[in-house]
C-alpha cells in the first residue's frame, strides 16, 4: 500500500473517531452561535451551553445532539483523504532527506497547504451540518416559517440547490478558508512541537500513547484558540437565509455581530468548542497514528 493510500485509510479512521467523540459538542456550539440576538427586554433562547444541552435533549432526545452528523460522516473519507494526503505529500516535498523528521515550522507550512485543499470539501459539508444543527433556531426566528424543515443532509442539499443553485453549497467559503488554513497550520505545528517536547528531541517514534493523546488535545485547543471568531462568522453566514440574507459577506457579518453583541459575540459557543477540541482531536491523532503504524 502506497503512502497516499495509507494516509487516506488512517485519516479516514481518525476522522471518524473525531466526529463520533466531538459531534455533540459541535451541535451545542452551532446552536449557541446561530441563535438570534434577542430583542430588547427579551432573553436569549439558550442561556449557555448546559441550557442548550437540556433544551435539545428535552425537545429531541439524545439523538438531537447528533443531528447533522450524517454529512460529515458521509464525507469523512474525502475530507481526510485530502487533509492527510496533502499534508503527507507536502511533508515529502519539505523533507530535507528521506525519513528525516520535519521541523515545527515545516509542519506549519504543510498544515496550511492541507487547509487550503480541504476547504473546498469542508465548506459544503459544514454548511449542511450547520443548517441541520441550527434548525430549531431558524424556525423560531421565522426564517423557515411556513416551509417544511429539511429532514436530513440530502434534503438540506436539495433545498439549498433549489434556492441558490449549486454555488449555494459554497456559501461561506471565504471564512471556511480563513478557519482551515491558519487553523491547520497552527494545529499541525503545535502537535509536532508538543510531540518533540514530550520526546525530548525530534525523534518521536517511541512516544507513549499518553503523550500522543496530550499532544493531540493541545493541538485541537490551539486550532480553536487561533480561529474561533472566524468560525462564528462562518456559521452565521452558512445558516443565513438565501432569499433574504442578513449579511452581505464576512466583513458585514463581523461588523453586525460586534455592533449587536460586542466582541463577546465572536466567542459564542467557545466553551463547547474547547470542550470538544481536546478529546476529539486527541482521538483523531491517536487513532491516525495507530492506524498509520499498523499499515507499515
Q: What is the DSSP string of 43-105?
A: --S-SSHHHHHHHHHHHH-GGGGGTTTHHHHHHHHHHHHHHHHHHHHHHHHH-SSTTPPPPHH
d(CA 189, CA 186): 5
- Confidence class of residue 171 from pLDDT cuts 50, 70 and 90? very high
d(CA 7, CA 9): 6
User: How does pLDDT run across 102-150, given as a tens digit for each residue?
Assistant: 899 999 999 999 999 999 999 999 999 888 878 766 555 554 455 567 7
Percent of the chain whose pLDDT exceeds 90: 56
What mean pLDDT do residues 166-192 have?
Answer: 97
The confidence score (pLDDT) of residue 71 equals 67
77: pLDDT strictly greater than 70: no
The confidence score (pLDDT) of residue 144 equals 46
What mean pLDDT do residues 155-176 have?
Answer: 94
Q: Shortest CA distance to 128 belongs to which of 150, 156, 166, 149?
A: 156
User: How does pLDDT run across 231-280, given as a tens digit for each residue?
Assistant: 999 999 999 999 899 999 999 999 999 999 999 999 988 988 898 889 99
- Confidence class of residue 86 from pLDDT cuts 50, 70 and 90? very high
The confidence score (pLDDT) of residue 138 equals 58
The pTM for the full model equals 0.83
CB-based contact 86:159 (threshold 8 Å): no
The confidence score (pLDDT) of residue 143 equals 47
Dihedral pair phi/psi, residue 68, rounded to 5°: 85, 0
Chain-wide mean pLDDT for the chain? 89
Half-sphere exposure in the Cβ direction for 159 (13 Å, CA):
19
User: How does pLDDT run across 186-244, given as a tens digit for each residue?
Assistant: 999 999 999 999 999 988 989 999 999 999 999 999 999 999 999 999 999 999 999 89
The confidence score (pLDDT) of residue 139 equals 57
Query: What SS3 state is found at 205?
Result: coil
99: pLDDT strictly greater than 60: yes
What mean pLDDT do residues 3-27 have?
Answer: 88
The confidence score (pLDDT) of residue 45 equals 87
What mean pLDDT do residues 32-57 have?
Answer: 87
Amino acid at each position: 500500500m502506497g503512502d497516499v493510500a495509507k494516509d487516506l485509510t488512517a485519516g479516514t479512521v481518525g476522522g471518524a473517531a473525531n466526529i463520533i467523540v466531538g459531534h455533540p459538542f459541535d451541535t451545542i456550539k452551532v446552536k449557541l452561535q446561530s441563535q438570534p440576538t434577542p430583542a430588547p427586554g427579551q432573553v436569549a433562547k439558550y442561556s449557555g451551553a448546559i441550557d442548550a444541552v437540556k433544551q435539545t435533549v428535552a425537545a429531541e432526545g439524545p439523538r438531537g445532539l447528533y443531528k447533522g452528523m450524517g454529512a460529515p460522516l458521509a464525507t469523512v473519507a474525502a475530507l481526510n483523504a485530502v487533509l492527510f494526503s496533502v499534508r503527507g505529500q507536502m511533508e515529502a516535498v519539505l523533507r530535507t532527506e528521506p525519513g528525516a523528521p520535519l521541523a515545527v515550522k515545516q509542519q506549519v507550512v504543510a498544515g496550511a497547504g492541507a487547509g487550503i485543499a480541504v476547504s473546498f470539501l469542508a465548506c459544503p459539508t459544514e454548511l449542511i451540518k450547520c443548517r441541520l444543527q441550527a434548525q430549531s433556531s431558524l424556525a423560531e426566528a421565522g426564517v423557515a416559517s411556513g416551509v417544511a424543515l429539511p429532514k436530513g443532509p440530502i434534503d438540506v442539499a436539495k433545498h439549498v440547490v433549489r434556492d441558490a443553485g449549486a454555488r449555494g453549497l459554497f456559501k461561506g467559503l471565504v471564512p471556511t478558508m480563513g478557519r482551515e488554513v491558519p487553523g491547520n497550520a497552527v494545529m499541525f505545528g503545535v502537535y509536532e512541537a508538543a510531540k518533540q517536547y514530550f520526546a525530548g528531541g525530534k525523534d518521536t517514534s517511541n512516544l507513549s500513547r499518553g503523550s500522543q493523546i496530550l499532544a493531540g488535545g493541545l493541538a485541537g485547543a490551539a486550532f480553536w484558540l487561533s480561529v474561533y471568531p472566524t468560525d462564528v462568522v462562518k456559521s452565521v453566514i452558512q445558516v443565513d437565509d438565501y432569499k433574504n440574507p442578513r449579511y452581505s459577506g464576512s466583513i458585514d457579518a463581523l461588523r453586525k455581530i460586534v455592533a449587536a453583541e460586542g466582541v463577546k459575540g465572536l466567542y459564542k459557543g467557545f466553551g463547547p468548542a474547547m470542550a470538544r477540541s481536546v478529546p476529539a482531536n486527541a482521538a483523531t491523532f491517536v487513532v491516525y497514528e495507530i492506524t498509520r503504524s499498523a499499515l507499515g
